[in-house]
Chains A and B, each alone.
Chain A
């Protein structure tokens, strides 16, 4: 093409009396026009040429321009001093506060206790060690975390490799996907989206480095005990903590986040239990090696999100997406069936079951009551606008009457969610026969366990209307029998009556704080650090999917909204106070009441502290995800939280930090829970 063009240009330059204009073929005046015209007379082929190359030409020209400008900008960006964005920010918003690491270093703090990070679910990277044919060339490349490039390139292959075996909950044959090790495992989840990176950078300021900072990366898809069975991860953590204690001479400070909190609870029981089930560290291992456990956003009692995740693979965000663009996710457009694939994959991950609400109705509330019953959903607003006491109580009275029934974790239909329990007609689903409609399922590309249930089963579930934390388990047993069978071998959701019962020595109870005793380590400190002030999913309003052939038969009823603007019900989800993922109740109760003082769960009287961080959204775009955020993951960039952690790592105790720091009503709610301590 270029060859053609150049020849033409030369020609027209001659013909066009040196008008010097090759691109247009028109500006050359009449003479040139005539030439073109005469050429056209000769035949249509001759006339096509100038037009075609002109089009391509201007395309090329345009692309070239864009490219050059792009390179120029790229060059400028690279040539720019690294601190330039900071100057701009400071020019706009005034001088920034020192990052906590720098500030505390000026105060003279230095690295003292080695630090162990325990990442949560989803945030750790996973890489491929052995795969099927379709994963050629991905050896030791990240499948999870990073850019997720493979998800777009070969989605089915990706799903296949990320799934675990449906029976064992371990690797499927021929596939080995393993956690990335080291700090890189979870410093950034995706490029630019930090998880631990900010905390690591600040710790490094006061002298931490790889030798006294350890990321306890584990495969977060497996059940906790299986990480030991397959990868010996718990042994690895034990050995590393012992090494760090030996080389530094100080006990470690453990910082688990999200599901890592439960994982570390499991670890503390495991390490002291005798081999073969445990790690054989002896009954004083924790006392000797751990100074403090600083749980960030710990879902001690699970999260309601996990239920909706298991039940219909959706959370609020997905439900909203569905409401915005109905059909995209559900229909077979593009033959994607995204949600079904997701459900099949996530249901092979045992770890999701560790997050199912624990403690049943005692903790989460029954059909007619819940600990948060009188929670004011417009807390944010009432906090910001000054209110007199009378006004506030008026608001509270109003809501008393409204009475949100958080205890009903799942209700079918908005009406059912609100009316009094005596008015609900319920038929028990437990005995319902699961119909089989094979003719329908054979059409489906993606098989989920729902297809075994049939129309009868689905209807029976909807007829039960209301599910509380206790009956949720039966519901899940009913809709996902395989998953729950696998899961119940590894996790347990009850409350122990007698902790000395020998059955509680089984590892399935170790990650449930209501069925384990804390280790005998009176000098250890346990912190609950979490954000508050963000509406957090607490209960759901469901409906049946219009046609239930190949689709997941239930979905969140996004049309269900509360009457008033301040209502807790939005898009089919009842929200309570929390950090966007974990409700305050789950994150705070154990430290506020369950373990406070000497209780049967905490026989040695380990000190507990609650540190809440009130959420404040980033002031402007330049701040990124904010330095005062309280959101579940973004809190890892919260300066106040980082400062607390650094102080403890440098040797401070909970009292030095100032003890409890509470914004929410956690103490009030804790009092309402009738639990023998």
Chain B
């Protein structure tokens, strides 16, 4: 208490003293001007100062006792001082920033495509429906356990994610769905945020749809002719109708917009998983209730002008497999190799991956992204459609464009060499061990997988040592080893693997999704909703005037198959497999950090996004009986030139493409009434046409 008092005193004493200095100074100045009696002035000053000093002396004498404490005070003092300085400077900068004019005179931002087209006379014509993909839509809490006090109608997913940090376990619990039904757990209601805000920004500053919305607004769009079909992306598609009537809602909105905008058909712009969701909707809306929406056979022909699929994972993505199997993707694997132990060991008792796996496995929608079409599409042990395709595709492009002859010759030679030497066998989506991923199939162990996986009775071993329960705990060590011994899984056997390691999830989800190829589409079983989101098991609606676009980025290495290994044994590990991030190919090889890459948009390989538009639906095929026109529009990836560009105006990445100027222009033109021919038909950079030819499928 005493020290505090002294501290106070000091603070007060100081200013007083300075004041006296001030007066002295003034006096001094006057006398200097007069240039007289200088000596006397000095002595006066001296006297005054000494007088002050004497007063102070008494103070300091008292203070000397508490000198030590004063030193502490000094430390705090300088801390405060530094903080104060920083704050002041910060405020000053903020103030300056705000008082700056919005556009600096020297820096002219490039004109947005919307403004340019607006000047050209392109105006809003067709209503636009945006369908967001997985994980980009916001979710908010409507009812929760006591631990979520005060979070009513606050975002749990999207936004700033502050709740993860504040109450992680509570957060995980509320984002999980029921393990049996795939619907809400009792006492918890988490719902999709409606409206454009649902997915305009995923997190503050990280746009998803915002740039497109802004450009659409420039040519006259607003809320009455632009709709965000937000849905709960964790649920299976049919369950969004069962629980939230999301499909009915979408149907009603499209009908309303069609009527109120002068009977103009809508242009639908789905992104990522939204593409599959809208495929599901197309079938649902025309089929009779109770399973369907009862719109009648002509509904799509009447209401839809075009579907502009962005980065469509029509045939699934390999990423989904690694996610389900070990809840890791390239990025996680890289982190693990850089910093071994952080994610795996139970330091802090976090077990991040295990938690993530447990939550993600209650989300049925992920199953919709598992590769579809089996070995016909994705390749078998020895064959894949991408085969012989330059592995270092992205690298080659950049090197060639750099124009260094020596360099490119060198790499070209090396590339052909390496391509010959280790031809990536993409068909083996999962291989245990690096060798297994490229040795000829004759050398692989021939084990009957089905028998192996289904025959074993699963014995529950020491599963009690885990706090976090995942389905792996029900698997015995031996059966896990058997899984690894099988070495190689193609997209066909992969499903068996998943059924084995995640029986509950697959049982739940396979009632909602199917991954095969239909032999006979007239089979009445294909009227069931589980087939509606698989383009290989559904027919497009009878709408010959409808246009289907596949818009996606190319030129980024995209995960296509994985090299796995067993997790180090001995400890209580929940996830027994992991990507072998030590598996590296040669310099130009497509194998990097345990992952084989192909061309794509970083998430979806070209094959999955382009095949249906390039071949499966082109012309009149059995999947497209009415001959709806299809267009493939690819956007070559170019990384942002400078930091000022942010995420780039020519990006081809899965989400960043939504800010791609060429892409936005295409969408705007179609929304304003242009047809696919008018915007230039196909626009192809990748080998998608050649790859599609290689796929042997009956059309």
Contact = CB atoms under 8 A, between A and B. Distances in A.
Given A26-B17, A129-B217, A19 B60 contact: yes
Contacts of B88: 59-60, 63
A235 B255 CA distance: 11
Contacts of B222: 129, 176, 178
A61 B87 CA distance: 11
Given A61-B77, A178-B222, A235-B260, A67 B87 contact: yes
Contact of A37 (B13, B45, B56, B84): B45
Interface string B1-43: 0000000001101110110011001001100100000000010
B257 to A, nearest CB: 9
Contact of B195 (A181, A232, A247): A181
A89 to B, nearest CB: 15
Contact of B56 (A22, A26, A137, A205): A26
Interface stretch (A49-57, A426-434, A651-659): A49-57
Given A83-B149, A204-B152, A29 B53 contact: yes
B79 interface: yes
A62 B56 contact: no
A63 B84 contact: yes
Interface in A130-148: 130, 136-137, 139-140
A231 interface: yes
Given A65-B84, A210-B194, A26 B14 contact: yes
A98 interface: no
Nearest to B230: A210
Interface string B172-213: 000000000000000001011011110010000000000001
B260 A232 contact: yes
A57 B81 contact: yes
B224 interface: yes
Interface residues of A, number: 67
Interface residues of B, number: 73
A23 interface: yes
Interface string A143-169: 000000000000000000000000000
Given A24-B14, A41-B42, A137-B102, A247 B245 contact: yes
Nearest to A127: B223
Interface residues of B: mostly helix, strand, loop or mixed?
helix
B245 A23 contact: no
Nearest to A54: B18
Contact of A239 (B18, B70, B252): B252
B46 A61 contact: no
B18 A204 contact: no
A64 B17 contact: no
A213 B537 CA distance: 37
A76 to B, nearest CB: 14
Contacts of B153: 183, 187, 200-201, 204
Given A210-B194, A236-B256, A239-B255, A231 B53 contact: no
Nearest to B60: A27
A209 to B, nearest CB: 5
Contacts of A139: 214, 217
Contact of B52 (A26, A41, A235): A26
Nearest to B225: A232
A652 B81 CA distance: 65
Given A33-B53, A129-B222, A209 B142 contact: yes
Contact of B248 (A24, A37, A183, A246): A246
Contact of A2 (B29, B45, B85): B85
B85 A181 contact: no
Interface in B67-103: 67, 70-71, 74, 77, 79-85, 87-88, 102-103
Given A61-B80, A182-B195, A204 B74 contact: no
B59 interface: yes
B84 A30 contact: no
Nearest to B152: A201
Nearest to B63: A27
Interface in B241-257: 244-245, 248-249, 252-253, 255-256
A246 B25 CA distance: 87
Nearest to A211: B244
B260 A20 contact: no
B45 to A, nearest CB: 7
Contacts of B687: none
Interface in A384-440: none
Contacts of B80: 60-61, 64-65, 68
Contacts of A243: 248-249, 252
Contacts of A2: 85
Contacts of B46: 37
Contact of A27 (B45, B56, B166, B189): B56
Contacts of B160: none
Nearest to A185: B195
B217 A24 contact: no
Nearest to B53: A33
A235 B253 CA distance: 11
B457 interface: no
B143 interface: yes
B85 A64 contact: yes
Contacts of B57: 29-30
A58 interface: yes
Contacts of B79: 64, 68
A21 B80 CA distance: 16
A630 B25 CA distance: 66
B494 interface: no
Contacts of B259: 235
A181 B74 contact: no
B2 to A, nearest CB: 17
Interface string B237-275: 000000011001100110110011000000000000000
A222 to B, nearest CB: 13
B150 interface: yes
A163 to B, nearest CB: 18
B263 to A, nearest CB: 13
B260 A51 contact: no
B371 to A, nearest CB: 33
A622 interface: no
B117 interface: no
A24 B12 CA distance: 11
Contacts of A209: 142, 189, 191
B459 interface: no
B191 A210 contact: yes
B49 interface: yes
A58 B14 contact: yes
A21 B73 CA distance: 10
A83 B149 CA distance: 7
B189 A44 contact: no
Contacts of B249: 211, 243, 247
B18 A51 contact: yes
Contacts of A51: 18, 21-22, 25
A670 B255 CA distance: 46
Given A20-B71, A23-B77, A178 B223 contact: yes
B50 interface: yes
17 contacts: A20-B67, A20-B70, A26-B13, A29-B60, A30-B50, A81-B149, A82-B150, A83-B150, A139-B214, A139-B217, A140-B217, A182-B195, A184-B195, A204-B142, A205-B143, A239-B253, A247-B245
6 tightest Cβ-Cβ pairs between the two chains A and B: A64-B84, A64-B80, A60-B84, A63-B84, A82-B150, A64-B83
Given A140-B196, A209-B142, 18 more contacts: A26-B13, A26-B14, A26-B17, A29-B57, A33-B52, A36-B49, A51-B22, A129-B217, A137-B102, A139-B217, A182-B197, A204-B143, A210-B191, A210-B194, A211-B249, A239-B252, A239-B253, A247-B248
Interface of A: 2, 19-24, 26-27, 29-30, 33, 36-37, 40-41, 44, 47, 51, 54-55, 57-65, 67-68, 78, 81-83, 129-130, 136-137, 139-140, 176, 178-179, 181-184, 187, 200-201, 204-205, 209-211, 231-232, 235-236, 239-240, 242-243, 246-247
